[in-house]
Structure 1
Amino acid sequence: MTRIETLWGPWDHAPLDEVVELFRGLAVPWWVSGGYAIELAVGRAYREHGDVDLSVLRRDQLAARRLLSGWDPHVAGVPGGLRPWEPEEVLPEEAHDIWVREHPDGPWRFQLMLDEADGDDWVYRRDPRIRRTLGTLTVEERGFRRLAPEVQLLYKAKGRRAKDDTDFAEVLPLLGEDQRRWLDAALRTEHGTHPWRARLRSTGPV
């Protein structure tokens, strides 16, 4: 685990298993996302992680907030940079990233992301033309669910960092033809051209 300093205090992320155990008490759908979703798809550890990401649908946010009643959750990416998420507060559409810690003097322990949905479809918040059925969004993993790797790669494709290219390279050989085709089409829709598209096509027909 890597301790990271930020303007709003240090990150010292909780072990993935501990965060998963906490969310087992949530009655609405949730899943592991971020870098750990890719690592779980690969089936082995291959890099360090600076945080743990879990996701829920925006429409289920209040159930998640109640689960976190004993924690100190804050909303990121809003005016002012970071502010408390008050109990029973419905967050505005622009808020999708929540930082969570045990108490105000402690380090940040994990992130909770809010995903968009339209009925039975997941909708990509950066480009609503990209969507898929909720039933295909996640994959069963040891009694919990993780985000499908092709969807996580779509999130990582914008503003690529070295770790995102590493995640792409590690999971690419494991993607089936349908997964590569979906990611190629999504990248084309959002970005037009993207360096990953050529590599997706080089591994087989898309």
Structure 2
Amino acid sequence: MTIPDQEAWNAWQPDVLAQRLSDIHLPWCVVGGWALDLWHGAQTREHDDLEFTILREDFDRFRQAFGDLEFYTAHAGVVEKLPANQRAPSGIMQFWGYDRAAERWRIDMMIEPGTPEWWAYKRDPAFKRPRAEMVMRTADGIPFLNPSAVLLFKARDRRPKDQRDFDGALPKLPVIERAWLKDCLDVLHPGNEWARML
């Protein structure tokens, strides 16, 4: 089967995602650049996709909520169709949802290694905090990842958009979150420029 154009993104907005998931009472949250904009309370830049995380054991329930989408695995630069009756393969952490009618990708659903009570950093699950501290909500209830954790993900590669996101978040980041992020960076990415700025 032909894989859809990987650049054909027209992602939903976070409020559309939240509406689609309004009947699901399981852990999930918006991550990436959109999480920072939900924290800011306004969109600060364009977003190519809409990333959110779930727990692996909840994959089937979330997939059911997007019955109008086809799902594809995205792993190591390869996108492959995930058959409708197949569960999330172990070791695969990222799934794209494709709207066949619109011929556009809508969501980027990621597996995170935490539990309902604990958030864990995907790249090193030894770094964890209570989910209640790490998942925040907008005034209208959209869950999003704590900006300090979003920046931890962005610190490794620091693309131009990541640097802009960091520069925009730094003045607003609470002291306790700055300290946590700096501690993580000092262990995971020694010498990282952001750690010096924190």
Same fold (TM over 0.5): yes
Q: Report 1:13-162 matches (<5 A).
A: 13-77=11-75, 81-103=78-100, 106-118=103-115, 120-141=117-138, 142-162=140-160
Unpaired runs of 5+ residues, structure 1, are 1-5, 201-206
Displacement of 1:128 after TM fit? 2.3
TM-score, length basis structure 1? 0.85
Between the aligned residues of both structures, percent identity stands at 28
Q: Structure 2: which 5+ runs fail to align?
A: none
Give the letter for the 1:110 counterpart: I
Q: For the structure 1 residues 13 and 118, does the alpha-carbon distance in structure 2 shift closer, same or farther, using more than 3 Å as the test?
A: closer
Alignment correspondent of 1:174: 172
- Cα distance in 1 for residues equivalent to 2:125 and 2:187: 10
Q: What letter is aligned with 2:48? A: G
1:94 Cα shift?
A: 2.4
Cα distance in structure 1, aligned partners of 2:111 and 2:71: 13
Q: Where in structure 1 do 4 or more consecutive aligned residues deviate above 4 Å?
A: none
| 1:183 alignment partner in structure 2 | 181
* Count of aligned pairs between the two proteins: 194
Question: Considering only aligned residues, what root-mean-square deviation do their CA atoms show, in Å?
Answer: 2.0
Residue of structure 2 aligned with 1:195, choices 178, 193, 196: 193
Post-superposition shift, 1:87?
3.5
Residues 65, 176 of structure 1: alpha-carbon distance in 2 compared, 3 angstrom cutoff: same
Which SS does the other structure have where 1:129 is aligned?
coil
Given that 1:77 and 1:97 are in contact with CA atoms closer than 8 Å, whether structure 2 keeps it comes out as yes
* Aligned residues of 1:65 and 1:87 also touching (Cα < 8 A): no
Q: TM-score, normalized by length of structure 2?
A: 0.89
